[in-house]
Amino acid sequence: MFLSKKFLSFFILGSSFGADQLGVSVVARAVAAPASEVAMDLTPAALDASWQKRHELCAKIIDLGTRKPEIPDNFEVAWRIGRFVYYGGFFCFPDNAEKSVKMDYFKYGVDALEKARKLNPSRVEGHYWYASVYGGYALAKGIRASLAGAAGMRDACTEAIKIDPSYHFGGPYRVRGRLYFALPSLISFGDNKLAYEDLKKAMELGPDNKLNSVYFSEVQAKVENKQAALKTAEKAKDIPDAVGVKEDASYRRDLDSLIKKWK
């Protein structure tokens, strides 16, 4: 696998782009529609309610990051804005969206999460979602940005691990492990053994999360063998859907691809 492809595959932290088949029109509608028709209510309760049906709200989620409403000095709102930007960038934008548009979109999420981290550095959400959203921003900006921001992503994950390693199905370990797996060892801090250790911990903390299995299977093939990787991927196929409509569909596709690859 070429380095550039490895970077591209890594920074899709939600794994495969679960982009809406009508993604281009979703973006266009969100930009063109009056704010009153699509604007999300930026309160914690409203944002949480919207999160539960996020697969139905791509237009609203794209609007959030394209209109860029002012991010309030409120931790509970700021990190939730960042979480929605993560979802919109990875699961609502079409694959062929212009990188500059996507980069600008993700930057709004990065800004929201930087504010959240400053407002309450003792909470896990700001650190975890910062690392996740910055991955999307770096993907859109290019490989140089990936390398430049990698240490910041790692440090955010490490801080999240100190606070709550089990958050989002072992998410802090999952993202840091994926970072170790994807980065080159010669010019950065990539390390398959460290990736294996982190992703194994993510599996222990979030055994029912398909994405943990996807990432662990990939590193298993490098550190152990393809037979072990195949066993992990096949077992994960029986995990019930639990995360979200677009996310779980995406992870099932990834598992099918790995099973075919390891056989």
Matching residue, tokens 């993202």? 175
**Under DSSP, is residue 19 helix (H, G, I), strand (E, B) or coil?**
coil
31 phi, psi to nearest 5 deg: -75, -35
How many Å is the Cα radius of gyration of the chain?
Answer: 18
**pLDDT by residue, tens only, the chain of 263 residues:** 223 334 444 444 544 434 444 444 555 555 445 544 567 899 999 999 999 999 999 999 999 999 999 999 999 999 999 999 999 999 998 878 888 899 999 999 999 999 999 999 999 999 999 999 999 998 888 767 667 789 999 999 999 999 999 999 999 999 999 999 988 887 788 999 999 999 999 999 999 999 999 999 999 999 999 999 999 999 999 999 877 778 888 999 999 999 999 99
List, in order of start, the domains of the chain with CATH numbers: 3-164 (1.25.40)
192-219 burial, b for 16+ CB within 10 Å, e for fewer?
eebbbbbbbbbbebbeebbbbbbbbbbb
111: amino acid identity, one letter: D
Closest CA to 209 of 171, 181, 245, 179: 171
- List the structure tokens of 46: 């409203």
